[in-house]
Amino acid sequence: MQKKASSSTLGPEGLDIAQSFFKPIQGASPQSPTSQITKITVVGVGNVGMAIAQTILTQGIADEIALVDVNVDKLRGEMLDLQHAAAFLPRTKISASVDYSNTTGSDLVIVTAGARQITGESRLNLLQRNLALFSKVIPPLAAKSPDTIFLIVSNPVDVLTYVAWKLSGFPSNRVMGSGTNLDSSRFRFLIADHLDLNAQDVQAYIVGEHGDSSVALWSSISVGGVPILSFLERQQIAYEKQTLEKIHKKVVESAYEVISLKGYTSWAIGYSVASLARTILRDQRSIHPVSVLAKGFHGIDGGEPFLSLPAQLGRNGVLGVTNVNLTEEEATQLRVSARTILKVQAQLGI
């Protein structure tokens, strides 16, 4: 179901209308072979994959978007639905295929495909099924785009980012997971909502596992450049640790709440991943909490866990991890989170 490079052959008997419609100016040189076209592949056209593709499309982040899935009819339907909105959107070539050749030359590959948990199924069995799926998906994607950057969104994202790293053979800076980027956005929203201000004025991170063992970095939260905890202490404003933990607990439960209400999450993760794509492809060097190889940071020495840390992202993927100061309690919680992930990774046998 490979899409044709152009629809200009819709004329009589396959006439290439574009050749007749446009006449080049005198003395024009041929198109430069060095012109840079930005291409993103989205693997999986479920609710999450399409929310990501749609957000990337509306924000004009890529020149080409390639969609990949095993469901031929849904794949073609989603492609056509997006193409029919062309008059309202930035010009972007949209293609779709079950064939990985469609992904060739991608600058960024976003993987949202994953097996869903069956009622009564153990987490380990689910992970094994996802490992089998990734074994079929990651190697051909890496072969078609050997210089690409992998951004894993499928859950459990930390463990599957590790799997993608192992299966791709890529250097660690070119494989990352969406991690706690969305968790941190939810965190910032809740703090901003409490203070009645714009969430963009709040700097706050959730790190560690994208899950129950995540860590809220209360010590580094600032609003308009003012550190929150030190401000409260200077003003002698009493606060209880339980209150802070309630906010973190609400962050962890946010996804479950959305899923219980509408059946799935999509829009927030769409914006979150589009933000990561923009930062990477436009070399913005912004800091995002994403799942990276955490070995060697904050006393995490054993194994090769992938978990979220505030990282600077750019055209070469993960450019570095921020030297954020953690309290001893936060560092201890982060190491516990790393051990939680390592236990799961050890069961995969890769």
For 332-343, the pLDDT digits (tens) are: 999 999 999 999
Nearest CA among 142, 120, 160 for reference residue 41: 142
| DSSP classification of residue 24 | P
Name the most confidently modeled range: 165-169, 194-198, 212-216, 318-322.
Answer: 165-169
Question: What's the pTM?
Answer: 0.87
Per DSSP bridges, beta strands 108-111 and 206-207 are unpaired
Residues 180-202, mean pLDDT to the nearest whole number: 88
Q: Which pLDDT band holds residue 252 (cuts at 50, 70, 90)?
A: confident
Q: Which pLDDT band holds residue 173 (cuts at 50, 70, 90)?
A: very high
Residue type, 84: H
> Which residues are known catalytic residues?
210
Residues 37-55, mean pLDDT to the nearest whole number: 96
User: Would you state the structure tokens that stand for residue 247, as one six-digit string?
Assistant: 């906010």
Over 80: is that where the pLDDT of 125 sits?
A: no
CATH architecture of the domain with range 35-177:
3-Layer(aba) Sandwich (3.40)
- To the question of whether residue 130 is assigned a binding role by annotation, the answer is yes
Q: CA dihedral in degrees (121, 140, 289, 207; nearest 10)?
A: 30
Q: What is the pLDDT of residue 349?
A: 79
Q: What is the pLDDT of residue 119?
A: 66
Over 80: is that where the pLDDT of 18 sits?
A: no
Q: What is the pLDDT of residue 4?
A: 45
What residue ranges do the domains of the chain occupy? 35-177, 180-346
Nearest CA among 180, 153, 179, 150 for reference residue 167: 150
Nearest CA among 195, 177, 244 for reference residue 216: 244
Q: Is the Cβ–Cβ distance between 118 and 160 less than 8 Å? A: no
- To the question of whether residue 47 is assigned a binding role by annotation, the answer is yes
- To the question of whether residue 153 is assigned a binding role by annotation, the answer is yes
Q: What is the pLDDT of residue 3?
A: 43
- Which stretch of 32-36, 173-177, 261-265, 345-349 has the lowest confidence by average pLDDT? 32-36
Q: What is the pLDDT of residue 50?
A: 96
The whole-angstrom separation of Cα 326 and Cα 157 is 24
Residues 258-274, mean pLDDT to the nearest whole number: 91
The whole-angstrom separation of Cα 101 and Cα 309 is 34
The whole-angstrom separation of Cα 22 and Cα 171 is 45
Q: Which pLDDT band holds residue 133 (cuts at 50, 70, 90)?
A: very high
Q: Which residues of 42-65 are buried (b: 16+ CB within 10 A; e: fewer)?
A: bbbbbbbbbbbbbbbbeeebbbbb
Query: Residue 315: which H helix or E strand, with range?
Result: none
- To the question of whether residue 48 is assigned a binding role by annotation, the answer is yes
User: Would you state the structure tokens that stand for residue 205, as one six-digit string?
Assistant: 């991170």
- To the question of whether residue 173 is assigned a binding role by annotation, the answer is no
| DSSP classification of residue 117 | P
Q: Which residues pair with 149 in a beta bridge?
A: 108
Q: Which pLDDT band holds residue 13 (cuts at 50, 70, 90)?
A: low
- To the question of whether residue 44 is assigned a binding role by annotation, the answer is yes
Q: Which pLDDT band holds residue 202 (cuts at 50, 70, 90)?
A: confident
Pairwise pLDDT comparison (84 vs 350), residue with the higher score: 84
Over 80: is that where the pLDDT of 239 sits?
A: no
Look-up of token digits 């990561």: 276
Q: What is the pLDDT of residue 24?
A: 66
Of all residues in the chain, the percent with pLDDT exceeding 70 is: 84
Q: Is the Cβ–Cβ distance between 203 and 224 less than 8 Å? A: no
Q: What is the pLDDT of residue 123?
A: 62
Strand, coil or helix: 307: strand
Average pLDDT, the chain: 86
Over 50: is that where the pLDDT of 1 sits?
A: no
Those residues with Cβ within 8 angstroms of residue 304's Cβ, 6 or more apart along the chain or in another chain: 162, 293, 295, 345
Nearest CA among 173, 160, 147, 117 for reference residue 36: 147
- To the question of whether residue 211 is assigned a binding role by annotation, the answer is no
Q: What is the pLDDT of residue 272?
A: 96
Q: Decide which of 1.10.3720.10, 3.90.79.10, 3.90.110.10, 3.40.50.510 is the CATH code for 180-346.
A: 3.90.110.10
Residues 158-170, mean pLDDT to the nearest whole number: 96
Nearest CA among 272, 276, 156 for reference residue 214: 156
Q: Is the Cβ–Cβ distance between 262 and 46 less than 8 Å? A: no
Over 50: is that where the pLDDT of 292 sits?
A: yes
Those residues with Cβ within 8 angstroms of residue 106's Cβ, 6 or more apart along the chain or in another chain: 39, 40, 41, 66, 141, 144, 145, 148
Main-chain phi, psi angles of 306, to 5 degrees: -105, 125
Q: Is the Cβ–Cβ distance between 325 and 314 less than 8 Å? A: no
Q: What is the pLDDT of residue 265?
A: 85
Q: What is the pLDDT of residue 53?
A: 97
- Which stretch of 186-195, 244-253, 300-309 has the lowest confidence by average pLDDT? 244-253
